[in-house]
Structure 1
Amino acid sequence: MNHKKSLLAYILWLILLIPIHAQDIYISPQELIKGTDLYPVCDFYWGKLLESTDGVTPTLSGIKPDMWVHYTNPDTGNPFPAQGVASYVFKIKLQTFPVSKPLAIRIKNASSAVRIIAGGHTILEIGHISNNLTMLRESMQTTMGGFYPPAKEFYLIVQIANKTDFSGGIRTLPHIGYLSTISRKHIINLVLDTLVMASIMVIALYHLILFSARKEARDYGFLFFALFSFAIGLRAGLTESRVLHMLLPYVSIAILIKIEIAAVYLAAGSIVVFFHFLFPSEEYRTFSKLTYGVNTLSILLTIVLPVKSLAYYHFIYLVYLAFTALILLIWLGRALKNKRESSLLFTVAFAILALGVINDSLFNGLGIGTGFISQYTLAIFLLFQALIQARRYSSMYISIKENAERTENLARVYRAFVPFELLKLLGVEKPEELEGNEYEKKDIAVLSVSLIPIVGASEEIEPEDMQSFLNSYIRHLIPVVHRHRGLIRGFSGERMLILFPDNHEDAILCAEELYYTIKEYNQGRKRAGYQSAHLIIGGAAGEATFTIVGDNTHMEVTGVGRVFPDAMIVEEIAPVLGSCALISQNLFPAVARLEKNNVRFVGRYKKDNKVISLFEIITEEDSAKLSLISEFERALYYYFSGELDKAEDGFSLLLARNPDDKAAAFYLGRILKLIGKRKDSMELTPYPELQ
């Protein structure tokens, strides 16, 4: 029984002992096709950059290839220092030789100067290796090299010289296989890591644009998520395939290491601030303030400390980083408890991301883990973020649509009641920009437009019919005003004032088109059996001062100037002279600039030492008036000259040829009354001021 136990113990001892002392790596063709990591046992030679193993005794035999600071120097009993040179020797045995295809070896995350030799020939070299550390040029790369094996059995020597890295040695096992297999894997990983880095950077830029675009109410969560993504993207380019190391070969390795470490501090600080904006009610304020201080200090130390000292500090920081991840998970737990929107999805996503960041930090500092994976876990995190946003958008879609429709309706009503165009006269684009002390002086044209007979009709027509009639009338006129860049000052009963601040010609053209529009409108009313409505238009031009009047409860844009009462006076005189459109002398130059010949002088209005010369705009349909303009103005000349007999003959002749000329009838009536006054003292009516 004891013999059986001894035999069993011996067999178990052999099972444990064989892999410890084995140094040969047997590689079959099937393994070469798939590619394989070198068997994790080798000989270690400290302080030597071997070309061959002949006659040299290893410092350590049958050890697992690792960073040499994890080994104990048998001579001193202490770990090997980080700075120095060493060689790792693997014995390779192929099951078939010669091989049909070239082989290749790939090394990941080399952080020192490295040279790999097979059969006395250099397969690949990273940086410039040297026994003299002052001549050393280090590099951080993931690279590969091809070769033909020199024999069925050969030694693969990995020389490493380290000055900057705080560990030194092999971080990950070299990968060996056929050249086609290894190169395909290498290119795929390189492309994948480049795409991941670029995608993360694009996401950072996207969130930065979202932050910048909202100038009125910026969401700082976007800014700090952009910083977080940028930091992780930067680390993605500085780890694993080392894309940025390849793109920046002449940048000092110490600087690149500092940037890589600083990216961790920036990412940790940014994610805490992002949480502050995401779940503010569940925040631990003391922890947040501590994190802001620690990460700011860490970034500053990255700038001033040498890499070796920074490495020791970073190792301490990793403990704090684990504590940070724990607090953030508790933070998320509180959000889950309070049933914050999408908190469950965000917790799962953050847990995955936190595991990736912790893995990277442990791998970078202690060589523990499978490699750098935070760029991939961030991609998963961002995918979850997209799902969260999609859920939010889908749940908000209906309410947003309803709010948009409601807002559009309010905006339409708002635009109808708020005089935006009048505000522009004051140099104000938006009502909220008003300060209440704006004013502006402008040279404008004004049309006073009235619909007749509206007052009398309002007493006979039912209110709802009157409302329908007025709205129908206004809807036909407003587009005409807008086409000629007119601004409607307001409505007062049957009258509306139209302003033309750009040029006076717009007022003349608008007055003519308003006449033809209302005529066409009347034809439709006549066919429907309704009473016709007619426009009376009076126009004037001059300076006006625009300003804001009112208080906080009611404000209004108003214009002050003689041009407004002048336009209304001219409009009141128009029906007396039978004119559909009458203008003052200040507006007459616009007619001349338009080169129109359908205007005649019809008299002067005088009141309070103010004289307004009046000009009638004749429509093209009134051919009789157009053909007799000269005769009318000649008769009017005799009237003003006091030659009443000649004036009487002239106006009588005009009425004989055009009985509908109301202005000629008006002046003939005045002449007869003037003559009668000398005989019987008859009073003059109407408008005694009209000379």
Structure 2
Amino acid sequence: MHRGRFAITLFFPILLLWLGNFVKAAEFPAIEKGVLDLSKSNTDPNAILTLSGDWEFFFQRFTDQIPGNETGQFIQVPGNWDEISQFNSNYSEGFGTYRLQLKGLNPDRIYGLKIPTIHSASQIWIDGKMLASFGDLGREKSEETPQIAGQLLFFSPDKSEAEIFIEVSNFHFFQSGIWSPIYFGEEHAVISFDRQSRMFSFLLVGGLMIMGVYHLFLAYIQRSFLESLFFGLACIFLAIRELAGPDAILMDLFPYLSHGVLVRTVYLCLGLAFTFQTLFLFRLFLPFKNQWIYKVQYIIMGIFILAILFLNTRDGAIFFNYFTLFLAPPFILFTLYIVVRAAIKKTEGAWVFLVGLLFFYGAASHDYLINYQSEGVNMSYWMPYGFFFFILSESVVLSIRFNRAFLNEAKLSTQLGQTNESLKRFIPREFLKLLGKNEIVDVQLGDAVSKDMTVLFADVRNFTSLSEGLSSKETFEFVNRLLTRTDPIIRKNQGFIDKYIGDAVMALFANKPDDAIQAALELQREVQNNNLLSNQKIGIGVGIHYGNLILGTVGSKYRMDGTVISDAVNTASRIEELTKVYKLDILISEDLKNQVVHPEKFHFRLIDTLNLRGKRSQNCIYEVYDDPEKYPPGFLDHYEKGMQFFRNVDIKEAKVHLDKALNLKPDDGPCQYFLEKLAEYSRVQQNLE
């Protein structure tokens, strides 16, 4: 409940500020029929006026074709000229001239204009003097050279009146005319206003970039934390979009940036920012069973990028508007539904995210109304504030998630320590022998020995799903039947079980590594030949590694236990986990293979090269088996050639040989795995091309 009160408390002041934004309009003089009379009001010298209202407009004419005594038709600024009666072209193509008469000026003062983005080319004149030119005007597309407008212009009137002419031609963009506010005021006020605007933009860009790079770094450290990756990318694209926004800061940084590149940058950044924001939200609050939504989002993003890159500027802008018109509303509603549902279910961070999302949607709606209003109300844009507040809320949610992860890690470490303290197992006799002790009474706290040994991990496949159909008693009976069969095989081959880990076992072999391999092969045959779980066939995965271990005793004078400390244990466990990935029964490390005394007794197949825990360099893993007829003739030849081409990044040849190998043995896990990898590489290359 306190989160809901926090959200409401935060939202209402923002709403009041938003509504207060409309009240300012009545304080400024209005443009009436192409005339702004400053003498009719006591305007503060430090005030900034928006030149919004009815300007005179001369369609399909430039200033050299306009007689001084002619009156044009009146058109709303900001707005598009496609609303006038003479307009009959497609997508606002054409040219024209805007005129505004300023009255009540002080000839002793210098005035300034803050010109917004105007597509595609424009010239600004005051009393017959050209103040600025952006691109080359044209009466048709071939004559026009597009360039983005957007800078400060200053003039000193010779008298109390002045005429502003703005010539505009547009053949490279879908939206015509002057559709963003023009700001006007005395020199110092305009400069101050521009500095404040740019300062906020730089602060916003800097904040977004810092958050973006920071979360990309976190994603690099923790690869599985995709939330941070999506959030970081969204921040960076939003920062670039802000640089290319109304202040055209990107043009200041790169003066020779073309019109087409700038427009494509704006739309690409908007689309990609929206996409990664959505993916970030899905990752936070969408159940993992709804993976299809990610695929849909990736497909849409691919289509969008290709369209913006390969369509011309005008068609790309048209595509973007229709694209957002049809796709943005359902995605917005869907994301709002997800966040509201998560907030109702009291999902961690959902309320904070919901407040930021509502503010973002409110800011976007506010700016949309500004762009499409009919009366030119004097309002500022709220989208930068919406972005900032939305990103801030997302950052808070991520901080909550990271904090929970750190607490869980600390909790897990504590639980592991408590588990080690609470274990009450007898120390195996083999363990005593390795410590050089004959009897358990001879063992002292702190006794330890370092020795190169073989570590074997064996685990039941799909144990969770198997146990779901069993009662608690049946589950324990099954585990005990399995361990009863496992222990004699381990002992027969000169090893001993050091740990029982649920349905898994960890065994140590102090003699030659051949013993561990032989035990694994016999264990596989035992499981295959005996019915250990009613009428269901079970499988086990075995991972074996060879390395240095430290065996010793830990505890206190009242309670102590034997333990093994080594990275080799983690490596063996990791190799066992890989048997599920490659769908194989037994995997061993290269370190163990190199120590085998009688390699002629076994058959080995190279599977992969991995960075395993406890190793500074890469380590190969091998499948081991003793049946020479396990694989059909020709299978291993094609497999080895395919893997050689795979390591040489020859995708085509690798796929040919792996396909042939898979045809010979359709259920071979490594072939299926590497063919899937080849398919991913092919898609990446196609995207890069």
Q: Which interval holds the TM-score relative to the shorter structure?
A: 0.5 to 0.7
* Pairing partner for 1:376 from 379, 385, 407: 385
* Pairing partner for 1:349 from 352, 356, 362: 356
Q: Indicate yes or no: 2:61 matched with 1:48.
A: yes
Could you tell me which runs of 5 or more consecutive residues in structure 2 were left unpaired when the two chains were aligned: 1-29, 428-433, 453-492, 498-503, 513-689
Other-structure match for 2:112: 104
Cα drift, residue 312 of structure 1: 2.7
* Pairing partner for 1:88 from 58, 77, 98: 98
Asked if structure 1 preserves the Cα contact closer than 8 Å seen for 2:141 and 2:172, the reply is: no
Instruction: Output one character per residue of 1:41-62: Cα deviation in whole Å (capped at 9) or x when no partner.
Output: 22111222216964353441x4
- Give the % identical residues: 16
Q: Which amino acid aligns with 2:507?
A: M
Asked if structure 1 preserves the Cα contact closer than 8 Å seen for 2:123 and 2:168, the reply is: yes
Aligned pair in 2 of structure 1 residues 108, 412: CA closer, same or farther (>3 Å)?
farther
Cα drift, residue 243 of structure 1: 1.8
Instruction: Output one character per residue of 1:625-683: Cα deviation in whole Å (capped at 9) or x when no partner.
Output: xxxxxxxxxxxxxxxxxxxxxxxxxxxxxxxxxxxxxxxxxxxxxxxxxxxxxxxxxxx
Could you tell me which runs of 5 or more consecutive residues in structure 1 were left unpaired when the two chains were aligned: 1-17, 419-447, 479-486, 491-546, 561-691
Q: 1:210-609 to 2 correspondence within 5 Å?
A: 210-215=218-223, 218-281=224-287, 289-319=295-325, 320-357=327-364, 373-391=382-400, 401-407=410-416, 470-471=444-445, 488-489=450-451, 553-556=505-508, 558=510
Cα drift, residue 88 of structure 1: 0.9
Other-structure match for 1:603: none
Other-structure match for 1:423: none
Cα drift, residue 276 of structure 1: 2.6
Distance 1:362 1:262 in 2: 23
Cα drift, residue 315 of structure 1: 2.5
Q: Which amino acid aligns with 2:304?
A: S
Cα drift, residue 394 of structure 1: 6.3
Cα drift, residue 86 of structure 1: 1.4
Distance 1:183 1:548 in 2: 86
Asked if structure 1 preserves the Cα contact closer than 8 Å seen for 2:121 and 2:147, the reply is: yes
Instruction: Output one character per residue of 1:331-388: Cα deviation in whole Å (capped at 9) or x when no partner.
Output: 2222223222221221121222234455667777999996764443221012212333
Q: TM-score, normalised by structure 2?
A: 0.54
Cα drift, residue 329 of structure 1: 0.8
Aligned pair in 2 of structure 1 residues 66, 233: CA closer, same or farther (>3 Å)?
same
Q: What is the aligned residue count? A: 426
Other-structure match for 2:127: 119
Q: Indicate yes or no: 2:35 matched with 1:23.
A: yes
Instruction: Output one character per residue of 1:101-148: Cα deviation in whole Å (capped at 9) or x when no partner.
Output: 321111122333222221222233333445564343322243111111
Aligned pair in 2 of structure 1 residues 289, 36: CA closer, same or farther (>3 Å)?
same
Aligned pair in 2 of structure 1 residues 390, 205: CA closer, same or farther (>3 Å)?
closer
Q: Which amino acid aligns with 1:88?
A: Y
Report the 3-state secondary structure (helix = DSSP H, G, I; strand = E; otherwise coil) of the residue aligned with 1:354. helix
Q: Which amino acid aligns with 1:327?
A: F
Aligned pair in 2 of structure 1 residues 323, 31: CA closer, same or farther (>3 Å)?
farther
Cα drift, residue 170 of structure 1: 0.7
Aligned pair in 2 of structure 1 residues 550, 261: CA closer, same or farther (>3 Å)?
same
Cα drift, residue 168 of structure 1: 1.5
Q: Which amino acid aligns with 1:45?
A: F
Other-structure match for 2:603: none
Asked if structure 1 preserves the Cα contact closer than 8 Å seen for 2:92 and 2:170, the reply is: yes
Aligned pair in 2 of structure 1 residues 34, 59: CA closer, same or farther (>3 Å)?
closer
Q: Indicate yes or no: 2:112 matched with 1:160.
A: no
Asked if structure 2 preserves the Cα contact closer than 8 Å seen for 1:276 and 1:283, the reply is: no
Aligned pair in 2 of structure 1 residues 151, 307: CA closer, same or farther (>3 Å)?
same
Bigger relative contact order, structure 1 or 2, given CA contacts below 8 A and separation 6+?
2
Cα drift, residue 278 of structure 1: 1.1
Q: Which amino acid aligns with 2:84?
A: T
Other-structure match for 2:185: 177
Distance 2:391 2:252 in 1: 26
Asked if structure 1 preserves the Cα contact closer than 8 Å seen for 2:122 and 2:149, the reply is: no
Distance 2:292 2:314 in 1: 31
Distance 1:240 1:292 in 2: 29
Report the 3-state secondary structure (helix = DSSP H, G, I; strand = E; otherwise coil) of the residue aligned with 2:266. helix
Q: Which amino acid aligns with 2:181?
A: L
Q: Which amino acid aligns with 2:59?
A: W
* Pairing partner for 1:36 from 49, 52, 70: 49
Distance 1:556 1:289 in 2: 45
Asked if structure 1 preserves the Cα contact closer than 8 Å seen for 2:228 and 2:398, the reply is: no
Instruction: Output one character per residue of 1:516-575: Cα deviation in whole Å (capped at 9) or x when no partner.
Output: xxxxxxxxxxxxxxxxxxxxxxxxxxxxxxx99557845336368xxxxxxxxxxxxxxx
Q: How large is the Cα RMSD of the aligned pairs?
A: 4.1
Q: Indicate yes or no: 2:210 matched with 1:202.
A: yes
Instruction: Output one character per residue of 1:221-262: Cα deviation in whole Å (capped at 9) or x when no partner.
Output: 222222322332222122121222332332321222122222
Aligned pair in 2 of structure 1 residues 106, 117: CA closer, same or farther (>3 Å)?
same
Distance 1:449 1:22 in 2: 99
Distance 1:301 1:363 in 2: 28
Aligned pair in 2 of structure 1 residues 408, 550: CA closer, same or farther (>3 Å)?
closer
Instruction: Output one character per residue of 1:482-541: Cα deviation in whole Å (capped at 9) or x when no partner.
Output: xxxxx6459xxxxxxxxxxxxxxxxxxxxxxxxxxxxxxxxxxxxxxxxxxxxxxxxxxx
Asked if structure 1 preserves the Cα contact closer than 8 Å seen for 2:359 and 2:386, the reply is: yes
Aligned pair in 2 of structure 1 residues 271, 80: CA closer, same or farther (>3 Å)?
closer
Report the 3-state secondary structure (helix = DSSP H, G, I; strand = E; otherwise coil) of the residue aligned with 1:125. strand
